[in-house]
Amino acid sequence: MHPIGRLALFAMALASALPAATLQRGPYLQRVATGEITVCWRSDVAQTGTVRYGTSPLVLTNLQSSAVVATNHAVRIAGLQPATTYYYAVEQEGQTLASGANLFFRTAPGPAYGPSVRIWILGDSGTANAYAKGVYDAYRSFAGSRHTDLMLMLGDNAYTTGTDAQYQTAVFAMYPEILRQTPLFSCFGNHDGYADPGMTQGEPYYDIFTFPAAGECGGVPSGSEAYFSFDYGGIHFVSLDSAETLRTTNGAMHAWLEQDLAANTSRWTIALWHHAPYTKGSHDSDDEAYLVQMRQNFLPLIEAAGVDLVLSGHSHDYERSFLLQGHYGMSATFDPLLHAVDGGDGDPLGDGAYVKSGTPGTVYVVAGSGGQLGGVQADFPHPAMAVSRVERGSLVLDIEPERLDAIFLNIDGAVRDRFSILKPELRFAGIAATNAGVSLQWYSRPGGSYALWRAANLQSNEWVMATNGIPATAPVNTLLLGGESHPSAFYRVEVEAP
Ligand SMILES: [Fe+2]
């Protein structure tokens, strides 16, 4: 045989000797930040993994490989642009395991003014049955072509003991489409802990997920994947472990949270942990130590830091509070006059949205009906709740710099709760006095309407409306106020009620 022929034959034999890997799980996305993301998947053959990526689905010219030979892959990609869509494919040993136009991720926007952030939230969803599928299908139908920026799971993600096989059916086989495109964060539920009898983070939960313990996505590093924080588009998220981490005020989680919240300058703050501080659903926040301790030991810190929203599950229903502050006792001691900053329903179409303009207040949501329903206590509903529904479903959030809109979407696709929190603090972009008048610029929101007020001095407290009904015409609105002639004047812009 000719020497070249022998060489070609040898190369062919080598190629055929490589085992062909097939995809067993994912891909799924973790630890998204403005410039980085982690792409995870599982294969049947242990090899090194590579992610190819680029801003066009047809041109995946960048690549990042992991040197680790494994079946579980977590490839960290750095050097990305913020708020940018990247398409990707996963490979092992030159063989493509997954690719296509439906494989893409978006990096996090920075804290500056940006578009609305969509978050899908599932609690206690791990039943792996038609109810879980129905809740997912209802959300996908509701979302349509709207991209979901983040997905949050509130614990008990895989029944009954959080094994790897249960995670496969309850999470990876249940939500494959959204997991390929939307980074997932979670908090730890009691059922996630049943796979390991110790309190040593030996559960599959910690193998499956890769959380930012080192502050990779913003926030103060916690040094633990059990509790951590991250930033996304002007929203600060705090995920706590109410199941297996010490819940006392002198514990490490409490000390870290205090530091993290003190350093937080985000416009919105959302906390999540599994054991709801207020519930009368299938669990009772008056009786169970996990729930009582989270309420008594953590809510004072949460509320003092101005956290806007607390998301929990554990009870298999939907419960949503008024805008609250200062209720840390048993349900019988709840007094709306003392503990509700706003005792209305928070519905823009009802009593009106909650408004936080330098004022305190936190809304507490129990969204634990992502996979099944439970019973309720004899004294259901909890008096702190504005809305309580024994219905399967999920929570959907849309967050802009000035407003948070939430809905509870049930399994039939019906909106069964709606509330909004407004933060109408506006930021001026510039002010100038010219012969033509006073030119004002401020950051505005599409569809917004604004009123301009004037005062001779800040102490007078005598603000006079200069003009109102000013429509938003651009991300930075400009208004030339003619005929202004004052020795000095102060101006204030307000968002007009939606
Ligand atoms: Fe639970």
- Partner residues linked to 440 by β-bridges: 431, 479
- Cα torsion 52, 58, 61, 62: sign: negative
- Beta strands at 150-153 and 403-410: parallel, antiparallel or unpaired: unpaired
Neighbours of ion ligand 1 (CB under 5 A): 156, 189-190, 314
Write down the pLDDT at residue 237: 98
Q: What share of the chain is helix, strand, coil (3-state, %, to 5)?
A: 15, 35, 45
Ligand 1 centroid to residue 282 C-alpha, Å: 10
Residue pair 364/324 in contact (Cβ under 8 Å)? The answer is: yes
383 C-alpha to ligand 1 centroid (Å):
22
Q: What pLDDT is stored for residue 459 in this prediction?
A: 64
What secondary structure does DSSP assign to 291-333, as a single string? HHHIIIIIHHHHHHTT--EEEEESSSSEEEE-EE-S--S-GGG
Confidence at residue 18, expressed as pLDDT on a 0 to 100 scale: 65
Tell whether omega for the bond before 82 is within 30 degrees of 0, i.e. cis: no
* Residue 257 Cα to ligand 1 middle (Å): 22
- Among 123, 316, 274, 294, smallest CA distance to 189 is for 274
- Domain 20-106 sits in CATH at 2.60.40.10
Please give the angle made by the CA atoms of 63, 151 and 232, to the nearest 5 degrees: 70
Q: From the CA of 415, how far away is ligand 1's center (Å)?
A: 25
Q: What are phi and psi of 468, to 5 degrees?
A: -140, 180
Using only C-alpha atoms, the chain has a radius of gyration, in whole angstroms, of 25
Do 20-106 and 117-422 share a fold? no
Give distance in angstroms: CA of 443 to centre of ligand 1.
Answer: 42
DSSP structure class, residue 193? G
Distance CA 368, CA 315 (A): 5
* pLDDT for the residue 497: 57
Cα 132 from Cα 396, distance rounded (Å): 16
| CA 274 to centroid of ligand 1, rounded, Å | 7
Ligand 1 centre to CA of 275 (Å) is: 7
Say which CATH topology domain 117-422 has.
Purple Acid Phosphatase; chain A, domain 2 (3.60.21)
Euclidean distance between CA atoms 146 and 122, whole angstroms: 18
Check if the beta carbon of residue 249 is closer than 8 Å to that of residue 226: no
Which residues have C-beta within 8 Å of that of residue 281, sequence separation ≥ 6?
315, 316, 317, 319, 366, 368, 374, 375, 376, 377, 380, 388, 390
Cis peptide bond upstream of 111, omega within 30:
no
**Residue 168 alpha carbon to ligand 1 centre in Å:** 19
Distance 346 CA to ligand 1 centre (A): 27
Q: What is the pLDDT along the chain (498 residues), one digit of tens a residue?
A: 343 434 444 444 444 556 789 999 999 999 999 999 999 999 999 999 999 999 999 999 999 999 999 999 999 999 999 999 999 999 999 999 999 999 999 999 988 756 799 999 999 999 999 999 999 999 999 999 999 999 999 999 999 999 999 999 999 999 999 999 999 999 999 999 998 877 788 999 999 999 999 999 999 999 999 999 999 999 999 999 999 999 999 999 999 999 999 999 898 999 999 999 999 999 999 999 999 999 999 999 999 999 999 999 999 999 999 999 999 999 999 999 999 999 999 999 999 999 987 779 999 999 999 999 999 999 999 999 999 999 999 999 999 988 999 999 999 999 999 999 998 766 677 888 888 888 888 877 767 788 888 888 766 667 788 888 888 887 788 888 887 777 788 887 877 755
Taking the domains of the chain in order of start, what are their residue ranges? Answer: 20-106, 117-422, 428-495
Among 169, 173, 208, which residue's Cα sits nearest to residue 188? Answer: 208
CA of 440 to the centre of ligand 1 (A): 52
Cα 328 to ligand 1 centre (Å): 21
The CATH number of the structural domain formed by 428-495 is 2.60.40
- The model's pTM: 0.85
pLDDT tens digit sequence for 382-405: 999 999 999 999 999 999 988 999
In angstroms, the CA 466 to CA 445 distance is 20
Q: For residue range 401-415, list pLDDT tens digits in order.
A: 889 999 999 999 999
- Among the listed residues 461, 354, 266, the one whose alpha carbon sits nearest the alpha carbon of residue 492: 461
3-class DSSP assignment, residue 261: helix
